[in-house]
Structure 1
Amino acid sequence: MDGLMQPRPLTLAHVLERAERLYAHKQVVTAGVERVTYADVTAGTRRLATALDALGVPAGARVATFATNTRRHLELYLAVPVTKRVLHSLNIRLSAEHLEYIVNHAEDDVVFVDRALLPRIWPSADRMPTVRHWVVLPDDSGEEIPADPRVLHYDDLVDAAEPFAGSFEDTFTLADEHLASGLCYTSGTTGPPKGVLYSHRSTILHCLGTLAAGFIGLCESDVVMPIVPMFHANAWGLPYGAMMTGASLVLPGPSSDPVHLLALMESERVTVAGAVPTVWTSLAPHLPSRDLNATRFLLGGGSVIAPALSETYRAALGVPITHSWGMTEISPVGTIGGTRTQHRDGTEAERTAVRAAQGQPLPLVSLRIGDVETGEELPRDGRAIGELQVAGPWVAGGYYEVESPASFTADGWLRTGDLATIDADGYVRLVDRMKDLIKSGGEWISSVELESALTSHPDVVEVAVVARPDPRWDERPVAYVVLREGSTATGNDLLAHITPMVAKWWLPDEVVFRAALPKTGTGKLSKAALRDLKSAQPVQAQA
């Protein structure tokens, strides 16, 4: 017997119209210099909706953004999906090669780009043939805007448009909740970047997950500041969650300067903020000079939060940095850390250990660990180590236009590639990565791709790239290289050689030359042995 409830679709149109009707007075602050309300944002969104029509952007088309955290980017977050187009946020840190691949693979129809970021992407415009329009988002950078018929100005475009006057919600049917709402590509660490295609339904359910009490628990009284970039996995869902619950939003703009970020948190009385560990590390020295007593929740993700860093914040503010874990494929939040009622009677050392875990899964997210060799599910005893696998309504079931059966189990669970334990309370603790990936500043770096680039130098015989712990970036790559006999190549020569091939922030911090590289018993390069060479003297080392 079926229930007799209304089959209303779950779509982002509801988020827009809820904010418009209930929270029109709430504020959206950009970089501390622009202050508007949700009424202003939703009015701009309604004009942008018809502007997209005027540009001839068809339903289902991918609309790319190459932008930082601003009010206009927020309008794109809303207008694109509620008009049944697909928001494709581009990572502004990618190399030109990766950007061109991703835009062409997605077949983006329009790109909205911050004026300050034009020099990073415009040189590739002619190699992105599907893009018909380039719309420049204004800022005070003064960057030259190309005199090209494809280039349009955002404010001119929106100001000239009549606002959409109807109900976006009424345009959706139940079947439409499965329409794609957003597209975000993985970092391409084990091959070409893969597109994760979110649906309206999955995004709304993930949005509700950010409101779940006992986890992040966004609520109307919050002032939410997503420091995490809006180009990265929907800024962890914080903008959508804030709008759904009526929280005010503080968007930091393009600057990641710690003084700027803390000044915003102080002046706007921010209660909830989310950022990668490198950002929290950069802010920590400045904490004593700021009044941040409004803060109730600090979210960390992208890589493991060092317990010492979290405790620094707890000592200074009374609020630790709370771990989260997730992936682009998980929309992206899967778990949230922190202590629960069963930990109240524990020692402070025991509670600190709990806070160091990646936490429990959000409601509707299911986790398990599988034996790496057999795939057999392992016990939740906090000791067994296996590959972390995840399932749920906001977890990817495939990739956009790419077959990747190895990424999923036979029964459809996503294989994360992370090694972890799960204890009896459901707490996940990451142990290691199955692949030799390097996570720097919350972003992945492929050791394989760096090795491939380095070995393209004619003097390189062997190379292995491994991670070195870094107090600011969490990890940074170090390249161990064997040169051909008689070569005079330097570390700087090799870095110059690979600079055109990879993103600048991928460049190894150090190139260490050795007469030979250690091998395993089967003749493979032993990266484990290289990681143990911290105190060893290299034959020659050059930065």
Structure 2
Amino acid sequence: MHGLMMNTPLLTTSLLQFSAKYHADTEVVTVSPKGQITRCTYSNLYKRCKRLAVTLLNLGVKPGDRVGTLAWNSDQHMELYYAIAGIGAVCHTINPRLGDHEIIFILNHAEDKLLFFDSVFENLLGRIRPKLNSIDHIICLKENKYLLSESSEVSVESENVVGPEGSSFSWPDIDENMAASLCYTSGTTGNPKGVLYSHRSIVLHAMCSCLSSSLSFSTDDVILPAVPMFHVNAWGVPYAAPIAGAKLVMPGPNLDGESLFRSMETEGVTIALGVPTVWLSLLEFLELSGKKLSSLKRVIIGGAAVSESMIDEFELKHGINVQHAWGMTETSPIGVVNTLKPKFKNLSRKEQMPVKIKQGRAVYGVEMRIVDDNNQDVDRDGVASGRLLVKGPWIISQYYKTEKTALRADGWFDTGDIATLDPDGYMLITDRAKDIIKSGGEWISSIGLENACTDHPSIKQVAAIGVPHEKWQERPILICIPQTNELPSISEIRTFLDSRVPKMWLPNAIFWVNELPLGPTGKVQKNKLRKSYEDCLLG
């Protein structure tokens, strides 16, 4: 027997339509690359989306067509999110931090029909335009206008293609399982792979984000996503904030500490999301300037492990709560969020810290397992480690344009992460499978070694990698950015770490550098470091 409830499709346009009706005056604030501020309301944004949808149809966009965006966080980029998907097409966000050849590959692989770009990328478009195979129109986002370039050369000197039509426009009927958004993985081990999100998966993910056991967005919040809209849809914030009725602050490309501080103070930001490298920059600015954040209550950190020292600096110096989270492009991305269970809330900070540094517990909708090499579930003791598997309604099943499933034979997705799970359900990433250091039959966690190093006063940032060793197969080395002018020797570092990590983990060498190679999402590119230092312990 079936239930007798309405079968209303879960469509992305319903998210913005809801906010336009019930949170009409709530603002979306955009900071331009030059620092200029523009404001619009959810009500106005929704009207503009409908006008843009009419324009897309007039330009020949059909259901299933891919429409590319090469843009920073802004209200215009948010319009594109909703207008493109709303007519049944697919919004394909492209990372401008990638190399030209990768961007060309992604655009041609996706077969984008239209490409929207921020005016700051005019030179980039000029370089890659001759090598794009499927683009019919290139449209520039400039000063809240959409400027069409019909020639093979990229030009932004044209008329606004979005007219006043749209007030009477009605969104077409769409199956909730139709594709709405396309993001490509960073491609560290080959060409980037496309992850295709459906309307249903995006809406469910947005609803989950608002749960108190998840990101806990509410009408009282002012949210600043310091994670770009081309990185897993800015972690879903442009979809979740509207239904929460939260004010949005789009910071554009300027994610240095001073720019973030200015945006946060001007707009009264209460929640900010980003990777650790962004927060290092903010904390450094606060330290040097002596300034304090007056409104920020919580930072949500993902993309890489957060250190105890960063948690301490935010919470003890600035009174800002740190919330750890985990996800990936293939998980939309929210899979795990660290919210303290009631039994931990009255503990001392020292007693809470072993829990707070973990990625957290699975949110509703995501199932999680950790298995050993024999595909058996490991003990939930917080010690036994294995491969992290997930499944759920916003988890990938297949990569775009591949015939092969992305899942194991048992229907679970293998994340490629090595993790532990404790009796309370808190998951801790101990490493990426490819970054585990295998030495003399033992596994050394590069993340665990890095976290132990962050307490050293001379180390600002560190990457631990395994390099070939004649006797031990691999041994760990450290590549560090210094915090001070004093550069400790390897023996001094080993002495410092001696009581903090197992003896087998003590590094064989340390190298001091001015910067670490970062990928387009802000993560350290350890594959490049391994290549650069592969012979350092041989001969």
Which TM-score applies when normalising by structure 1? 0.78
| Counterpart contact for 1:133–1:150, Cα < 8 Å | no
> CA offsets, 1:380-430, max 9 Å, x none?
22111000010111101111112454x422121110000000111110101
Instruction: Trace 1:391-430 onto structure 2 (pairs within 5 A).
Output: 391-405=391-405, 407-430=406-429
- Per the alignment, residue 260 of structure 1 pairs with 259
Instruction: Trace 1:200-279 onto structure 2 (pairs within 5 A).
Output: 200-279=199-278
| Counterpart contact for 1:186–1:195, Cα < 8 Å | yes
Q: 1:298 to 1:516 in 2, by over 3 A?
A: closer
The worse-fitting range, judged by mean Cα deviation, of 57-66 and 144-153 is: 144-153
1:349, distance to aligned residue in structure 2 (A): 1.1
- Per the alignment, residue 354 of structure 1 pairs with 355
1:292, distance to aligned residue in structure 2 (A): 2.5
| Counterpart contact for 2:223–2:270, Cα < 8 Å | yes
Paired AA for residue 113 in structure 2:
D
- Per the alignment, residue 116 of structure 1 pairs with 120
Instruction: Trace 1:453-492 onto structure 2 (pairs within 5 A).
Output: 468-470=479-481
- Per the alignment, residue 166 of structure 2 pairs with 163
Q: Hey, what's the Cα distance between the residues in 2 that align with 1:368 and 1:99?
A: 35
Q: Hey, what's the Cα distance between the residues in 2 that align with 1:139 and 1:219?
A: 30
- Per the alignment, residue 453 of structure 1 pairs with none
Residues 1:128 and 2:136 aligned together: no
Q: Hey, what's the Cα distance between the residues in 2 that align with 1:86 and 1:391?
A: 23
Residues 1:137 and 2:148 aligned together: no
The worse-fitting range, judged by mean Cα deviation, of 156-165 and 213-222 is: 156-165
1:118, distance to aligned residue in structure 2 (A): 2.1
Paired AA for residue 432 in structure 2:
R
1:350, distance to aligned residue in structure 2 (A): 1.7
The two structures, once aligned, show a CA RMSD in angstroms of 3.3
Q: Hey, what's the Cα distance between the residues in 2 that align with 1:189 and 1:302?
A: 15
Q: Hey, what's the Cα distance between the residues in 2 that align with 1:515 and 1:273?
A: 41
| Counterpart contact for 2:125–2:154, Cα < 8 Å | no
- Per the alignment, residue 376 of structure 1 pairs with 376
Q: 1:211 to 1:513 in 2, by over 3 A?
A: closer
Paired AA for residue 468 in structure 1:
I
The worse-fitting range, judged by mean Cα deviation, of 65-74 and 279-288 is: 279-288
| Counterpart contact for 1:324–1:336, Cα < 8 Å | yes
| Counterpart contact for 1:186–1:193, Cα < 8 Å | yes
Which TM-score applies when normalising by structure 2? 0.79
SS of the aligned residue for 1:177 comes to coil
Instruction: Trace 1:278-289 onto structure 2 (pairs within 5 A).
Output: 278-287=277-286, 289=290
Q: Hey, what's the Cα distance between the residues in 2 that align with 1:203 and 1:106?
A: 20
- Per the alignment, residue 321 of structure 2 pairs with 320
- Per the alignment, residue 51 of structure 1 pairs with 55
| Counterpart contact for 1:110–1:134, Cα < 8 Å | yes
| Counterpart contact for 1:60–1:84, Cα < 8 Å | yes
Q: 1:338 to 1:165 in 2, by over 3 A?
A: same
SS of the aligned residue for 2:236 comes to helix
Paired AA for residue 253 in structure 2:
P
Q: Hey, what's the Cα distance between the residues in 1 that align with 2:273 and 2:14?
A: 24
Q: Hey, what's the Cα distance between the residues in 2 that align with 1:19 and 1:344?
A: 34
- Per the alignment, residue 308 of structure 1 pairs with 309
| Counterpart contact for 2:223–2:246, Cα < 8 Å | yes
| Counterpart contact for 2:130–2:152, Cα < 8 Å | no
Paired AA for residue 381 in structure 1:
D
- Per the alignment, residue 179 of structure 2 pairs with 180
SS of the aligned residue for 1:109 comes to strand
> CA offsets, 1:16-59, max 9 Å, x none?
21122112211111115112212221121111101101111111
| Counterpart contact for 1:27–1:35, Cα < 8 Å | yes
Paired AA for residue 187 in structure 2:
G
Q: Hey, what's the Cα distance between the residues in 2 that align with 1:154 and 1:363?
A: 49
| Counterpart contact for 1:369–1:377, Cα < 8 Å | yes
Q: Hey, what's the Cα distance between the residues in 2 that align with 1:102 and 1:514?
A: 30
State the identity as a percent: 36
| Counterpart contact for 1:301–1:325, Cα < 8 Å | yes
| Counterpart contact for 1:135–1:152, Cα < 8 Å | no
Residues 1:84 and 2:88 aligned together: yes
Q: Hey, what's the Cα distance between the residues in 1 that align with 2:535 and 2:194?
A: 41
| Counterpart contact for 2:138–2:150, Cα < 8 Å | no
1:148, distance to aligned residue in structure 2 (A): 2.3
Unpaired runs of 5+ in structure 1? 448-463, 473-502, 519-538
1:361, distance to aligned residue in structure 2 (A): 1.0
Paired AA for residue 416 in structure 2:
G
| Counterpart contact for 1:114–1:138, Cα < 8 Å | yes
Q: 1:515 to 1:273 in 2, by over 3 A?
A: closer
Paired AA for residue 65 in structure 1:
T
Q: 1:116 to 1:23 in 2, by over 3 A?
A: same
| Counterpart contact for 1:365–1:393, Cα < 8 Å | yes
1:220, distance to aligned residue in structure 2 (A): 1.1
- Per the alignment, residue 148 of structure 1 pairs with 151
> CA offsets, 1:324-360, max 9 Å, x none?
1000000011111142201034332120111100001
Paired AA for residue 211 in structure 1:
C
Aligned residues: 462
Q: Hey, what's the Cα distance between the residues in 2 that align with 1:52 and 1:467?
A: 51
> CA offsets, 1:139-195, max 9 Å, x none?
69xxx9988267575994444351152442xx335xx00000100011112222111
Q: Hey, what's the Cα distance between the residues in 2 that align with 1:62 and 1:350?
A: 50
